[in-house]
Amino acid sequence: MVLIAGLCVPTAAQAGRIEPKVKASVTRSLDWLVREQRRQGYWEANQTQYRVAMTALAGNALLCEGSTTLRGKYAKNIRLAVDYLLELAEPQGVSNPSGLIGYKNDYHYMYGHGFSMLFLSQVFGEEEDPERREQLRRVLTRAVNFCGQAQTTAGGWGYVSAKDGGDFDEGSTCITQVQGLRACRNAGIPVPKELIDRAVEYIKKCTTPEGGVQYSIKGGGARPPITAAAVACLFNSGGYDDEFAKKLLAYCRQNLSAGGDDGRTFGHWHYSHYYYAQVMYRVGGDEWKNYSKAIGANILRKQSADGSWRDSQIGSVYTTAINATILQLENGFLPIYQR
């Protein structure tokens, strides 16, 4: 591992640990994503939905390959994605942007906002152009402030800001914000400590005695997908030995399987393993090796001839971006996913 511009960058040997068949699968999937990118720089889900979230997730998958905005096979595509999100955050002619990365008419805009903080913070860490770096710093700083203003009185987040959503919050959106905020803080963007502390307390209030995280503090039953996401966020801050994290991880080990979907993911298998794979990668050792082998075989078995993974619910961009990210964790290029 070498240090470049503040980032821990894997050596060529480390980045080459992915098996050839997995690497070939990833290349096919990333090439498919490139073909699906619109000329304005965005990706979208089914029925032209969730452009901001899909752009951030697809852009992140391309970053995992090792390309940046300036170098690599997918540099042009990453630049287009960054341009699209920055234009949303700082529209031309608007002197005082709100800080939201997204559209106010998107009834799930906090998802896109959280994933965009994650994506742009990874780009910010390697940006070499001073003017561009300053714009990213400005946009991410405003994004963090918007996130703080959007937090509910209970300490969570909902599909939209607390003001727009009547103070409604729920677990999955909350965790998207927490990981985005942690990514920003790791990149050097100021994030008030109490913002994340209140969110962690919210997650604890959602947790059942068995260690499963519920849909919200009002109940809804323990959800393995949200629990896996919560562990990933706790691990992002280095809380590997935290007793709360251990409790949630034990629940995930009992309720999530890399080899298939027994219904416990509530129809959100990809969301579950997007986060659980990050957790297993940090756990490392034989547990990661066994998990990686099982989930790799499961994912590769379902890949379509064109390189994508089909999904009728949210869309193939979503499943392809997530699967490609899972398969590339071993590359270790992005700080947010590194051990």
pTM over 0.85: yes
pLDDT tens for each residue of 59-76: 999 999 999 999 999 999
Is 249 contained in some domain?
no
**What CA–CA distance (Å, rounded) separates 99 from 58?**
22
8 Å CB contact between 143 and 184: yes
Is 114 contained in some domain?
yes
State the DSSP H helix or E strand holding residue 64, giving kind and residue range, or none if neither.
Answer: helix 51-64
* C-alpha distances in Å from residue 170, one per residue of 41, 216, 303: 30, 5, 32
pLDDT tens for each residue of 12-71: 334 447 899 999 999 999 999 999 999 999 999 999 999 999 999 999 999 999 999 999
CB atoms within 10 A of CB 217: 19
Phi, then psi, of 269 in degrees rounded to 5? -60, -45
Which tokens sit at 92?
Answer: 């031309």
**What CA–CA distance (Å, rounded) separates 94 from 50?**
23
Q: What is the pLDDT of residue 236?
A: 84
State which residues of the chain have pLDDT below 50: 1-16
Domains contained in the chain, number? 1
DSSP collapsed to 3 states, 231-292: HHHHHHCCCCCCHHHHHHHHHHHHHCCCCCCCCCCCCCHHHHHHHHHHHHHHHCHHHHHHHH
CATH assignment of the domain containing 192: 1.50.10.20
Q: What is the pLDDT of residue 11?
A: 41
Is 210 contained in some domain?
no
Is 120 contained in some domain?
yes
Is 218 contained in some domain?
no
Which tokens sit at 13?
Answer: 């040997």
Q: What is the pLDDT of residue 304?
A: 98
According to DSSP, the β-strands at 2-4 and 7-9 are antiparallel
Is 284 contained in some domain?
no
Is 17 contained in some domain?
yes
State the DSSP H helix or E strand holding residue 82, giving kind and residue range, or none if neither.
Answer: helix 75-89
Is 176 contained in some domain?
yes
Burial 51-63 (b: 16+ CB within 10 A, else e): bbbbbbbbbbbbb
Range of the domain at 181: 2-205+302-337
